[in-house]
Amino acid sequence: MPPMKPDKSVSPEARLGVELRRLRQAAGLSQEELARKVNFSAAMVGFVERAERTPKQDFILRCEAALGISGPLLELWGACETTSLRWFRPWTKIEASARAIRTWQPVLIPGLLQTQDYARAVLKTEPGISEEQVEELLTARVQRQKILDRRTPPMLAVVIDECVLLRPVGGARVMADQLGHLLDLMARPCISVQVVPLAVGATNGLAGAFALAQVAGERDAAYLDNAINGQVTDRADDVHAVSLKYDAVRAWAHPLHVSEQVIREARGKHESAG
């Protein structure tokens, strides 16, 4: 039985539930039988299949193991995963279906390119956040990054300020590993990273981070970051304005081969400091 074609008119939770039911029935299992295999209640299986509850990742992984599959349920779960910040979820859904993403970051490595240790160090800075919340948000961030491992990933064009390379987020060793990871990702044909040198001084991008996404068959969208929550918009005038900002700040950036060398030099400094 082939997988059902996703219907964008229904929620991610509903698509997950429909696919879990389809796979369970294809395996010849009742809800009770699957529940026994995954050590959850039959009621929980029913809740998920009816989109009445969004499960934790552990439930999804156990179901995939019991059904002898790897990946399809986890990918669907990533679209409806509830540990993401609520205001950020619309952007993760746009990101997941984007053909191309352009982003500017004046302070941090973009989330799609962060190592777990770097991301954990960033997430821990939120006032009052618990270790459990940090790990839940980290799981969501790692899930977001899976779009870069697809057979046909989106084109990702990143521009960062040079100060991003110098700030020892998580300490020198974590930062060195992060920049090494960044260099590895830059070897992929779908990912480019350019660095705006500190010598430029002021640019139009210093006000904050933003991203742009192109999605087939839909209007382009933009995400603008701020200290409280972010704004997602597909209004043509807003997207055009953000696109102009991106082009303007990118004009100050080093070319790709020079940016790579700058990143290597920064990594070497962190390695020496660590």
Using one digit for the tens of pLDDT, what is the confidence trace for 223-257?
A: 998 877 789 999 999 999 999 999 999 999 999 99
Strand-pair category, 221-224 with 231-233: antiparallel
User: Could you give the percent of the chain with pLDDT greater than 90?
Assistant: 68
For 82, the token pair is 């509830």
Q: Which two tokens stand for residue 161?
A: 């300020």
For residues 151 and 166, what is the distance between their CA atoms, to the nearest angstrom? 33
How many Cα atoms are found within 13 Å in the side-chain-facing hemisphere of 220? Answer: 16
Helix H segments across the chain? 12-26, 31-38, 42-49, 57-67, 72-80, 89-97, 116-123, 131-144, 163-166, 172-186, 236-250, 256-273
Confidence band of 4 (pLDDT split at 50, 70, 90): very low
- pLDDT for the residue numbered 6: 43
CA separation for the pair 80, 89 (Å, rounded) = 8
C-alpha distances in Å from residue 43, one per residue of 39, 48, 72, 85, 209: 12, 9, 22, 27, 43
| Sheet containing 210-215, strands listed edge to edge, beginning at the edge strand earlier in sequence | 191-196, 155-161, 98-105, 210-215, 221-224, 231-233
The type of residue at 118 is Y
How much of the chain, in percent, has pLDDT values that exceed 70?
Answer: 93
**Chain CA centroid to CA 243, Å:** 20
Please calculate the CA angle 140-228-139 and round it to the nearest 5 degrees: 10
| Per-residue pLDDT tens over the stretch 113-154 | 999 999 999 999 999 988 888 888 888 888 889 889 988 899
Which two three-digit tokens encode residue 38?
């995954």
Per DSSP, the residues of 91-110 read HHHHHHHEEEEEEEESSS--
Domain architecture of the chain: domains with CATH: 12-80 (1.10.260.40), 87-273 (3.30.870)
Would you say how long the chain is, in residues? 274
User: What Rg value do the Cα atoms of the chain yield, rounded?
Assistant: 21
pLDDT of 214: 95
